[in-house]
Amino acid sequence: MKRPSTECPPLESAPGVRLAFEHADGRRHSLPSAKPLLIGSAADCGLRVGDQLASRHHARVVYTPRGYRIEDLGSTNGTYLNRQKVVQPCPVRPGDEIVVMEPGYRQVWGIARNLGCTVKSFPLRPDQGWRPDLDALEAALGAKLFQRDNRGLAPTSAGEKLAAHVARMEAEVHDIRAGLDAADLGLAGTVAVTTTDVLACHLIAPALGRLQAQHPGIAIEIATDIRTLNLSRREADLLIREQVPDLASLVTRKLGRAAFAIYAHADMTVSHTRDKLRRAPWVGFDEDHTYMPGQSWMLELLEGAKPAMRVNNWLVLHDAVRGGAGLAVLPCYLGDTDPALRRIGPILKEVWADQWLLVHRDLRELARVRRVMDALVALFQEQKRLLEGKLGPS
């Protein structure tokens, strides 16, 4: 657990401010405001975390004009800010707690009793944020698991051994489930696909109906989420993402590359010169979403000025342009298929987004998962020209 120190608040008026982290053992770590901090277990991370539950590139802290923000980088076990899971870039304030790992708790009471084991319980207390009561845990186990001092908690040798045993138990449970899934070769069951809202609405959902008509035994769940969910824990079966997390358990396949261009309402007249574009009204993402494709290009064009209207997702951005609010950078598969819009100028060569299909290696051979994967690959091949912006005006 890392705690940003209150000694170095992220003030907008102090560009030379440094972000200070206090480790559980009392050590301090700081960095200049302008330099992003990569957190993880890899050697290139500015803040290395040695725990086996941390991903190689787990999270990143960056400085923006509005202060520090943290974002999860598709980690396996998640990043938590004040006990809330980070699903999009979140502001970090003095005294906040950032947790870059989440222990998995599994209760196997029935199995334990059948094996002749004595089951002892300990409470999860709401007044402690549903964290386990460590005193009750130590009493139930009859062992001292943590050393307590003014710097916090440190595991004893017994605590470290227990953590290792629990981690192995969790890995065995995952292996058992993966083995059972691999034995199911029928084209029946549920396949959960998670993607972005704009891809789900305008490309994927309309096409997967054909697959379901061919294989009525396969139930398809489509969810929109920007997080890279934990495929090992079956939070999703398939993910479609623009970035590939650095996880050895995932198998990836590139589906295609989405092109982007400037779009306006069909009745709006705009000259495609840089000066005229700069003076036109624009619609863009808010400051929490400036990482979205095309936003850096737009902000550079506007020379630091903010767009007249700011939103936080592609569908609202699309509707704002359809309503005549101004220009926007949109994916071509969204803009070119809408007769209410027209493309302003050519494809923006500097703006693109690769689309990747992610699956856990233990799930890729399931017949129903493989069939949905094949359908998604075929869909992106069918829509290749649309995705690359080659169906719009040249």
- We report the CATH number of the domain holding residue 37 as 2.60.200.20
Count the domains in the chain. Answer: 3
pLDDT of residue 40: 82
One domain for residues 134 and 90: no
One domain for residues 39 and 174: no
One domain for residues 304 and 350: yes
* pTM exceeds 0.85, yes or no: no
- We report the CATH number of the domain holding residue 346 as 3.40.190.290
In a domain, 196, yes or no: yes
One domain for residues 214 and 349: yes
Which structural domain range is residue 163 located in? 109-182
- We report the CATH number of the domain holding residue 168 as 1.10.10
Averaged pLDDT score across all residues of the chain: 78
One domain for residues 132 and 42: no
Reduced 3-state DSSP string for the chain: CEEECCCCCCCCCCCCCEEEEECCCCCEEEEECCCCEEEECCCCCCEECCCCCCCCCCEEEEEECCEEEEEECCCCCCCEECCEECCCCEECCCCCCEECCCCCCCCCHHHHHHCCCCCCCCCEEHHHCCEECHHHHHHHHCCCCEEEECCEEEECHHHHHHHHHHHHHHHHHHHHHHHHHHCCCCCCEEEEEEECHHHHHHHHHHHHHHHHHHCCCEEEEEEECCCCCCCCCCCCCEEEECCCCCCCCEEEEEEEEEEEEEEEECCCCCCCCHHHHHHCCEEEECHHHCCCCCHHHHHHHCCCCCCCEEECCHHHHHHHHHCCCCEEEEEHHHHCCCCCEEEECCCCCCCEEEEEEEEECCCCCCHHHHHHHHHHHHHHHHCHHHHCCCCCCC
pLDDT, tens digit, for every residue of 79-134?
Answer: 888 777 888 888 887 777 777 764 443 334 455 555 566 656 555 565 665 566 77
In a domain, 104, yes or no: no
pLDDT at 143 exceeding the cut of 90 = no
pLDDT at 19 exceeding the cut of 70 = no
pLDDT, tens digit, for every residue of 192-244?
Answer: 888 888 999 888 888 877 877 888 888 888 888 765 555 555 567 888 988 77
One domain for residues 158 and 213: no
One domain for residues 175 and 191: no
In a domain, 69, yes or no: yes
- Name the least confident of 52-66, 67-81, 261-275, 313-327: 52-66
In a domain, 353, yes or no: yes
One domain for residues 85 and 143: no
